[in-house]
Amino acid sequence: MKILGIETSCDETAASVVEVSADKTSVSLLSSVTATSLHLHAKTGGIIPEVAARSQMKEIIPVICAALQQAQVLQGSDSPAIDALAITYGPGLIGSLLVGVETAKTLSFVWEKPLIPVNHLFGHIYANWLGQNSAEQHKELPKFPAIGLIISGGHTDIIYMKNHEHVEWLGGTRDDAAGEAFDKIGRLLDIPYPAGPTIERLAQQGDPKAYQFPRPLMYDKALDFSFSGLKTAVLRAVEKLENRNGQIIADIARGTQDAIAEVIVYKTLQAAEQYDVSSIVVGGGVAANKTITERLRQEAQKKMPEVTVFVPERVLCTDNAAMIATAAAFQHTQKSWREVTANPELYFD
Ligand code: KG4
Ligand code: ZN
């Protein structure tokens, strides 16, 4: 089965075709095309929804065409050789979501193909089910039960996955998301948006003992996070600086990343232990941070060697359409285009 995925929930315009084997043990990537308006937002320190949506209006058709062409599923004036369309219907920015959702509904109607609405947050998790047959990935698919960790610019959530059908939300951030913390702290350090990758790079040169920032809620029983106090602590540290040289910025970057990593790793392992799972599946832009995911792998290996940690390759951590098409293959709630509407506030049921 071939699925065309479309993703426009934030600043990206993405389309991808994946092929799912009949027994669903392998999902291969036939194409993945992503256009981003990130360069238009770098100066403003965050995404401007209107700017993102306008850019997506221009990109959506060329991006879909490129994905279909690369996957070699175009058939002249006939509908492309795909079995279904998958679309992110939330959560996200309303203008951005509408560009993708309305395009997908139109294509579903014109091509007479079913439409599968996908929750973007599940998309991040399902990036771990993609390309399992390729050499650089794990040979096996993640095994259930699993703990899912979503760490992105907009979300930080821990979910329990008994199987593909039964998913339970266990906890999340009470204020800023992990990626948002990186980005807001980046702004204090004059690092352009998105700051996560730059903080990761700078932290490599930082002294781990120079700054000890707070680890909020770390020993709290709830599987919740809070990152706004960390941002305030960094602000206080920055205000005290008499001069800002490269080493000090690297030290603060290190202190920030260590604090975020420690809380994320601790809470995820707490959930894995509590729910006695076989796998931990990580997704979202912050999962592109190798320091955090390596630490999670090492600690898991030490404390619960029977648990396997899955992290998608870097390009599949940040927003993309391949993860949406993959999630659709497993969740598979085909709808008529009439029943699908954008839902910016979508979360977990
Ligand atoms: O998942 P994503 O592409 O978009 C959302 O759905 O939010 O995540 C974007 C977030 C940004 O906050 C960015 O700073 C963060 O992911 N990010 C990172 C890294 N790469 C991206 N954070 C820390 N380290 C990284 N290497
Ligand atoms: Zn995302």
Distance (Å, rounded) from C-alpha 24 to C-alpha 321?
19
Determine the atom of ligand 1 nearest the C-alpha atom of 290: 26
Distance (Å, rounded) from C-alpha 34 to C-alpha 12?
7
Ligand 1 centroid–CA 202 distance in Å is 16
Q: What is the DSSP string of 12-25?
A: EEEEEEEEE-TTSS
Determine the atom of ligand 1 nearest the C-alpha atom of 92: 6
What residue type is 229 in one-letter code? G
Tell me whether residue 110 is exposed, middle or buried, using C-beta atoms within 10 angstroms of its C-beta: 0 to 12, 13 to 18, 19 or more.
Answer: exposed
Mutate to test the pocket of ligand 1, among 34, 122, 318 (most ligand atoms within 8 A of CB): 318
Nearest residue (by CA) to ligand 1, atom 8, is 285
pLDDT digit string, tens, across residues 14-45: 999 999 999 988 899 999 999 988 777 777 77
Task: Decide: 130 and 312 in contact? Cβ < 8 Å.
Answer: yes
Instruction: Work out the number of other CB atoms within 10 angstroms of the CB of residue 280.
Output: 25
What residue type is 300 in one-letter code? A
Instruction: Work out the number of other CB atoms within 10 angstroms of the CB of residue 29.
Output: 18
Distance (Å, rounded) from C-alpha 121 to C-alpha 143?
19
Contacts of 243 (CB under 8 A, 6+ apart): none
Nearest residue (by CA) to ligand 1, atom 3, is 318
Segments of the chain with pLDDT less than 70: 132-139
Task: Decide: 271 and 160 in contact? Cβ < 8 Å.
Answer: yes
* DSSP three-state, residue 245: coil
* Lining residues, ligand 1, CB within 6 Å: 10, 152-154, 179, 182-183, 194-197, 200, 284-286, 288-289, 318-319
Q: What pLDDT score was predicted for residue 132?
A: 60
The closest of 68, 45, 57 to 13, measured between CA atoms, is 57
Q: What is the DSSP string of 180-221?
A: HHHHHHHHHTTPPSS-HHHHHHHHTTS-TTT-----TTTT-S
Tell me whether residue 64 is exposed, middle or buried, using C-beta atoms within 10 angstroms of its C-beta: 0 to 12, 13 to 18, 19 or more.
Answer: buried
Q: What pLDDT score was predicted for residue 139?
A: 62
Ligand 1 centroid–CA 180 distance in Å is 8
Ligand 1 centroid–CA 318 distance in Å is 6
Residue 207, sorted as left (phi over 0), alpha (psi -120 to 50) or beta, turns out to be beta
Nearest residue (by CA) to ligand 1, atom 21, is 285
- Pairing of β 156-161 and β 146-151: antiparallel
Ligand 1 centroid–CA 178 distance in Å is 8
